[in-house]
Structure 1
């Protein structure tokens, strides 16, 4: 059961380029997420690990696309990326976290790439 104060998606739309996902919420918020950002911040154990020390930095995803999106219950979606990654379950609250804390997530990712000598291109 959903908390009545929790934002609820009213639209989830994949743009024609298959590289941008738009999520609109009943709060009036609307956010665009690049496929690359969603892929490198996937909530999957493969990316996040089972603890902070196990978190992986995933390089080479600048051109990743989204093949399909499928509902998971009434609380999330599973995104199928064209690199065949599909194990992350993106909850509505996680979409909002990714939108509201974009600088933290994206900046941390870019910093990790640099520190590890990795690239967004490969």
Structure 2
């Protein structure tokens, strides 16, 4: 039953997302998105990279959990419009396969603190860090 509730909640959220009124790329550190309901979100490059909607070969699977670590200093190099529904972001670690829809930006913005807290807990749980590994 919880799975059904979560599924309905995610569908409901996507349908009820307000219309995007402004998208501003501030390379290399963040993206700013504003919506018609007045919500304004400043989303860091690290946050967008770890929650990229694409499958990536740099994701570690630990005990079935997908974890991206070491992206604290990642930057955004560019944004390419995709239709009238989103953008593809190119990160300086050469990740470029994720398409961020306006609805997904709204989801990331409105859940930013919870998602980031969960991410940090997951890193700690597996002994990983937001910082990139040191070169030898």
5 Å-filtered alignment, 1:96-107, equals: 96-107=106-117
SS at match of 1:56: strand
TM-score (norm 2): 0.75
SS in 2 for 1:10: strand
Q: CA deviation at 1:111?
A: 0.8
Q: Give the equivalent residue in structure 2 for 1:45.
A: 55
18, 25, 28: which is aligned to 2:35?
Answer: 25
- Larger Rg, first or second structure (1 or 2): 2
1:9 is aligned to 20
Among 78, 83, 94, the alignment partner of 2:88 is 78
CA RMSD of aligned residues (A): 2.2
Q: Using the alignment, how far apart are the partners of 1:98 and 1:92 within structure 2?
A: 10
Q: Is 1:116 the counterpart of 2:126 in the alignment?
A: yes
Deviation at 1:7, TM superposition (A): 1.8
> Normalization by structure 1: what TM-score?
0.83
